[in-house]
């Protein structure tokens, strides 16, 4: 009590309020609110969803769109469920690329041995032998994989908005060979052994004295932390480590590898790129590393909301000049489609993608690059037609 009095009336009032708050919390009841097991179906049907004839994801029984908040007040569990569904959809898109678009899956590295991590790309049967034209597709960064523009659009809109399939089909119809890159498939994850977990916790550059103080604090608080851990994170997930894929450990490495082993070896006189978001950065890095080859083979590049930066990437003058003549970047804008948009960077022209999709829950416009991509698809193909060098 003496300590409380020394703290003054304000401190006493805070202490009383805290005691009152704690008295209202039933810890035993909180502990009963453990989240369900993080175990989810491994098929769309198991989730009770299916893509209808319009390519929209719908519930099998109700016909309703996907619901993220399947269980109230369990955001972490709902997010894990969403991610599990996303992985199934990725495999579903792979199947569509093979069965509907008739692309073949090619393993990377090309000389991979049985025991090493591997990636893959997709390509049409004539991708390397088509003497006329070749289309290369590069998606952006994040969870998307080959054949996708945006997972969120696939789940909440439809397959045409969120996948590259419309582009692939049109390219094949117009006589293009097609190569679909997979720049985010950079590593595999394996569970850490107990020895590896202990080793990673022991490794530190801190001075011994500082590390000892930290260990002491951790030991003093461990009991409290463990008590609340079951409520905060009731299912302690396994610790994993990443094993990177040889020569494909980043989107930039992947783009260069596919260029060296496939695109540059193709017979096509005219090579075209469509690159979205980080895919644009990967293409610019490819230009930096293979400038002469790219200039000699690539006819036109369509970028969509590309995040490349000619200053940060230290792009030379000759590349910037080539980009001004051979690239076009469609960006988010309320201006009419193909209207010129001012840019602070001295590289390729920027034009409007005429983003008219509104999000009712926010005051601004919704940035849906893949939808805009489909909206100005004719413009992209028009660019290719203008740049196309007929034999």
Tokens 């719908």, residue located: 58
Single out the catalytic residue among 119, 124, 266, 277: 277
> Does residue 88 contact residue 42 with C-beta atoms inside 8 Å?
yes
DSSP 123-166: E-TTTTT-SSEEEEEE--SSS--TTBS-HHHHHHT-HHHHBSHH
C-alpha 82, offset from chain centre: 14
Let me know: does 122 contact 180? Beta carbons within 8 Å: yes
For residues 370 and 53, give the distance between their C-alpha atoms in angstroms, rounded to a whole number. Answer: 20
Cis peptide before 218 (omega within 30 of 0): no
Task: Please state the separation of Cα 210 from the chain's center in Å.
Answer: 39
Two tokens, residue 286: 């490819």
The tokens describing 71, both together, are 């269980």
| Closest by Cα among 289, 286, 280 to 309 | 280
Is 266 assigned a catalytic role?
Answer: no
List, in sequence order, the alpha helices (H) in the chain. Answer: 2-24, 27-31, 75-99, 151-156, 159-162, 165-173, 194-202, 208-232, 251-261, 278-289, 291-297, 317-326, 369-375, 377-387
Q: 28: which 2 tokens?
A: 């035993």
Reported for 91-94, long-range contacts at CB under 8 A and 24+ positions apart, including other chains, are 92/44, 92/51, 93/145, 93/146, 93/147, 93/148, 93/154, 93/163, 93/165, 94/122, 94/145, 94/146, 94/147
Six-digit token string for 293: 């080859």
Q: In DSSP terms, which residues pair with 178 in a beta bridge?
A: 135
Q: How many residues does the chain have?
A: 391
Find out whether 62 and 52 touch, Cβ atoms under 8 Å.
no
**3-class SS of residue 351:** strand
Active-site positions?
A: 277
């Amino acid at each position: 009590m003496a300590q409380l009095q020394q703290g003054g009336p304000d401190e006493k009032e805070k202490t009383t309020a805290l005691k009152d708050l704690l008295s209202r919390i039933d810890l035993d009841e909180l502990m009963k609110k453990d989240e369900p097991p993080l175990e989810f179906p491994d098929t769309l049907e198991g989730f009770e969803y299916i893509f209808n004839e319009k390519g929209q994801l719908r519930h099998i029984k109700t016909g309703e769109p996907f619901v993220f908040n399947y269980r109230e007040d369990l955001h972490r569990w709902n997010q894990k469920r969403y991610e599990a569904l996303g992985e199934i959809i990725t495999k579903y898109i792979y199947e569509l690329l093979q069965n509907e678009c008739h692309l073949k899956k090619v393993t990377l590295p090309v000389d991979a041995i049985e025991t090493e991590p591997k990636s893959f790309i997709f390509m049409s049967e004539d991708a390397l032998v088509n003497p006329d034209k070749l289309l290369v597709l590069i998606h952006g960064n994040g969870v998307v994989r080959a054949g996708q523009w945006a997972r969120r659009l696939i789940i909440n809109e439809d397959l045409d908005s969120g996948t590259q399939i419309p582009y692939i089909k049109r390219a094949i119809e117009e006589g293009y060979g097609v190569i679909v890159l997979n720049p985010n498939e950079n590593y595999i994850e394996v569970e850490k052994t107990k020895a590896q977990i202990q080793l990673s916790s022991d490794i530190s550059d801190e001075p011994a004295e500082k590390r000892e103080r930290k260990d002491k604090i951790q030991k003093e608080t461990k009991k409290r932390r463990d008590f609340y851990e079951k409520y905060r994170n009731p299912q302690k997930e396994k610790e994993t480590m990443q094993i990177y894929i040889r020569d494909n450990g980043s989107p930039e490495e992947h783009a260069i590898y596919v260029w060296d082993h496939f695109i540059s070896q193709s017979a096509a006189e005219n090579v075209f790129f469509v690159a979205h978001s980080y895919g644009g950065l990967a293409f610019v890095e490819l230009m930096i590393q293979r400038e002469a080859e790219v200039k000699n083979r690539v006819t036109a590049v369509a970028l969509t909301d590309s995040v490349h930066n000619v200053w940060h990437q230290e792009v030379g003058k000759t590349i910037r000049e080539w980009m001004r003549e051979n690239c076009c970047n469609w960006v988010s804008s309320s201006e009419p489609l193909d209207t010129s948009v001012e840019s602070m960077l001295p590289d390729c022209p920027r034009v409007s993608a005429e983003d008219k999709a509104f999000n009712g829950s926010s005051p601004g416009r919704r940035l849906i690059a893949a939808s805009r991509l489909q909206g100005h698809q004719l413009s992209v193909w028009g660019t290719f037609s203008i740049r196309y060098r007929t034999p």
